[in-house]
Amino acid sequence: MGVLVGKKAPSFTAAAVVNGGEIVENFSLDQYLGKNPVIFFFYPKDFTFVCPSELHAFQAKLGEFEARGVKVVACSTDTEESHWGWLQVPKNKGGIEGITYPIVADTTKTISQAYGVLAGEYDYNENMEMVATGPMIAYRGLFLIDKEGTVMHQLVNNLPLGRNVDEALRMVDALQFFEENGEVCPANWQKGEDGMKASFDGVADYLASH
């Protein structure tokens, strides 16, 4: 599994469900280049247990991401039809009805593989038949991609471990603070707090005042 931070986010075109129920065939993150940062996150499977809690948590904070100009996009290795079906199921029955941000269908598993979050890989058995050596679903990967398409933050959790959406929002704030002020963000930095200048004097001044 590679680290993509500091590199261009892998480009792709795939089917996706947008606006809570519309299937589009040629969805790409490239549409946001030069316009919007993106939170692009992977989840393992539709119709499961931890996954809807994460999807709804991102939806609950969607207004805050949008207020910062950030697009939120989800992805799993399920089909677009599976995504659409799950979107028809009410939240109180384990569904994701009400989710409005795009959900990408990585049915070929090439997107998960390109982002280094595919749990498993292909190999050949003694009969030279291609077989999977793992579940071939995505880990809980999350990538903060800036307007220029560069990955600025990466987080990957194993399948049982749900993510903290507030931390993703904090990373957006930290990136935008750096872009606007040219100052770096120390440990546990929160929006509204001081940053520090990227120098020994700047660090010393910051530590002295805290």
Residues with active-site annotation: 51
What are the strands of the beta sheet with 22-27, ordered from one edge?
22-27, 14-18, 103-105, 71-76, 38-42, 140-145, 151-157
> Could you give phi then psi for residue 55, rounded to 5 degrees?
-60, -45
> Could you give phi then psi for residue 128, rounded to 5 degrees?
60, 35
Angle value at C-alpha 121, between 111 and 117, nearest 5 degrees: 40
Instruction: Let me know: does 142 contact 168? Beta carbons within 8 Å.
Output: yes
Partners of 7 in beta bridges: none
For the chain, where are the alpha helices, taking DSSP H only?
Answer: 50-60, 62-67, 80-87, 110-114, 165-181, 200-209
User: Considering Cα of 168, then 174, then 178, then 180, what sign does the dihedral take?
Assistant: positive
